[in-house]
Structure 1
């Protein structure tokens, strides 16, 4: 019963109503009448045969062009323009923006099936936005609740280590507890940070600073790790390069990229940090000779909690690159990746320059 009512309403308010059919019919009948009158008039006037042939052809050509343009405009206005708006809104939703709204074409009493589809889409986006808000609030609340018990576990494990008198097996168990606690604390910290960035409760505080100096400071933090793994570290940096961004947030970007490069490069491999200024942008690339990635992994590396290593043999929680992506979006920057399985990866970050005059000299660190 409801379905029949829906079909009846759909017929009453379709994209191409009956009035349009009668408009076409009346126009063609009128044009045919004018054509007949033109033929009769030319015969009575005794016009040349060629003129009597060419003139109707030109006449109907003009009629066909006008009807085609009118039809094109009707299709564009009633179908293409609303569908293009809907397609643009769908793309934004797919990218995670749940604040989009598509206005219906007609009022409620003249709504057609396209209007109902748009209204259903708006309702779906509203529901998805509510679910996303619930999810982020859940992450935030749970993360905060985890911090206190983790602090208790960590402090008690530390007391056990300091007390002494533990057997080798017990000491190893306490060390495992400490290690797991640190990993979970790091996960919670990243979850909170990403949650705040997505909800825009963290507002970037941009300033002009030397990104080359910051890159050197971040690289030095991994000196002990690359020496322990016998990695060769190379850096090709300009003397200075000014960017206008939040230095605290960009430090998270460099730390995550360098950490991943060191983590996924096997012993004896090479990690290379490069920086150059090009076309008003500062380009920073982090290259490694590690395990590389498959095309499927590359498609998902910026997804939250995604890890290309499904065995979880390497440390990580799948939030680092999601954080990097979000920070660069807030900094008007971008990131690209090139990778080949078994040969390594190159992550390249692009940021707008604060100053257009970039130095040409390079400093090498080995």
Structure 2
């Protein structure tokens, strides 16, 4: 591992120079050579070497073992002891500090080189293990959040369905037609919420398992967008208006229809969900220079600045959504589909004034490089 930075801690100046020469000959970079524990701690903190070669008998109030222990625990820098002392007591004290190697003087370049390479590779291996453990912990926490979210999101619509059905069963003959329709509408809306949640979970699972594939084909883009809008309006009870504004020619457009459907339905669903009843949503579609640009604009609640950097993380929901139902999976699904489609997404948002998402897709019947 040529070029790694090494700090030498040796109080014998002649020995220190010899070590420096050998290290440079082997291809390592000596960041500094110091004689005391206090200097070693300061240099290690300032220069952040990849490795410290530490003599046990050094100048200052701390010996090499005490210094190595602080460097290891406070700075997480591996230490190799380089000393003429190999008695049992010294070895036992050194073991406690968990050194990455122990070389007894006199030594040759091969011993030095092998000890350093082993130490550096061990450091990389330990770092990889720490990263793996961190990811495992994050995954465990994510799964826990997932199941908590699923239980919570299922419980609310199921409770609404059950209570509405019980009221209709017990008092249906006494209810006026308008009230009966309200209960039926509540049941239908709750079922739609459950269906949406199941679809979100299923589609995200497919994306993560790479079941979804990128398969661009020629597409009648304008009619596809119009049909998607009609589906969205029907599924939401025509509570909002969606204005479709196609610009330019859609001839010879090739996109993955399945991925595009997931992208548009999730973005339009969010625009409807977070806009006031009767609000207007705009869908602009532009085809410049082999790209297709989709722009979805609403005048809803907007996204707080502190939430914007977490927008595409699973289960994350902005702090201002209040009681508006949702899972925090829609935009995660959008991002997964865009990655498969080699696309890009950006957005502009202001709290209380709405959000605009812009999606750029590469329009071609071949996979881009």
TM-score bracket, normalised by the shorter chain, equals 0.5 to 0.7
Does the C-alpha gap of structure 1 residues 164 and 273 become closer, same or farther in structure 2, counting only changes over 3 Å?
A: same
| 1:235 equivalent in alignment to 2:235 | no
1:346 is displaced (CA, Å) by 1.1
Q: Are the structure 2 counterparts of residues 25 and 127 from structure 1 closer, same or farther at C-alpha, using a change threshold of 3 Å?
A: closer
| In 2: Cα distance, 1:222 partner to 1:14 partner | 59
How far did 1:337 drift?
Answer: 0.4
CA contact (8 A) 2:233 2:239 kept: no
Q: CA deviation at 1:325?
A: 0.6
Counterpart Cα distance in 2 of 1:284 and 1:259: 15
**Which of 325, 350, 353 is the equivalent residue of 1:315?**
325
- Contact 1:336–1:348 (8 Å) recurs in 2: yes
Distance (whole Å) between structure 1 residues aligned to residue 219 and residue 323 of structure 2: 38
Give deviations 1:210-250, integer Å, cap 9, x for gaps: 33332222122244589954646242333415444431121
Q: What CA distance in whole angstroms lies between the structure 2 residues aligned with 1:327 and 1:298?
A: 19
Match of 1:251 among 236, 247, 261: 261
> Are 1:123 and 2:114 an aligned pair?
no
Which has the larger displacement, 258-267 or 294-303?
258-267
Answering whether residue 29 of structure 2 is matched by residue 74 of structure 1, we say yes
Partner SS, residue 297 of structure 1: helix
Could you say if the C-alpha distance between residues 313 and 142 of structure 1 is closer, same or farther in structure 2, counting changes exceeding 3 Å?
closer
| Mapped partners of 1:204, 1:262: distance in 2 | 28
Relative to structure 1, the CA distance from residue 190 to residue 349 in structure 2 (aligned partners, 3 Å threshold; closer, same or farther) is: same
Q: Could you tell me which of 227, 251, 270 is aligned with 1:217?
A: 227
- Residue segments in structure 2 that go unaligned for 5+ positions in a row: 32-46, 52-111
Structure 1 residue 199: deviation in Å? 2.4
Task: Verify: 1:300 aligned to 2:306, yes or no.
Answer: no
CA deviation map 1:298-317 (0-9, x unaligned): 21221111222545332322
Q: Pick from 17, 21, 25: which aligns with 2:17?
A: 21
Query: Residues 1-366 of structure 1 correspond to what in structure 2 (within 5 A)?
Result: 15-16=6-7, 21-22=17-18, 74=29, 109-111=115-117, 115-131=121-137, 166=172, 167-168=174-175, 176=186, 179-223=189-233, 228-229=238-239, 231=241, 233-267=243-277, 269-354=279-364
- With over 3 angstroms needed to count, the CA separation of the structure-2 counterparts of 1:190 and 1:226, relative to structure 1, is closer
CA RMSD of aligned residues (A): 5.0
**Matched residues in 2 for 1:136 and 1:233: separation?**
37
Shift of 1:352: 0.8
Distance 2:251 2:49 in 1: 45
Question: How many angstroms apart in 2 are the aligned matches of 1:82 and 1:246?
Answer: 48
| TM-score, normalising length: structure 2 | 0.57
Q: Which has the higher contact order (CA 8 A, sep 6+)?
A: 1
Mapped to 2, the partners of 1:113 and 1:135 lie a distance apart of 33
- Distance in 1 separating the partners of 2:245 and 2:236: 13
Task: State the Cα distance separating 1:159 from its structure 2 match.
Answer: 8.4
Give the conservation status (yes or no) of the 8 Å contact 2:283–2:296.
yes
- Structure-1-length-normalised TM-score: 0.57
Instruction: Using the TM superposition, give the Cα deviation of residue 339 of structure 1 relative to its aligned residue in structure 2, in angstroms.
Output: 1.2
1:318 CA displacement: 1.2
Bigger helix share: 1
- Residue 87 of structure 2 aligns with which residue? none
What CA deviation, in whole Å up to 9, does each residue of 1:154-212 have, x standing for no partner? 99999879979625499566764554444234223212221221122333433232333
The answer to whether the 8 Å contact 2:161/2:187 transfers is no
SS at match of 2:287: strand
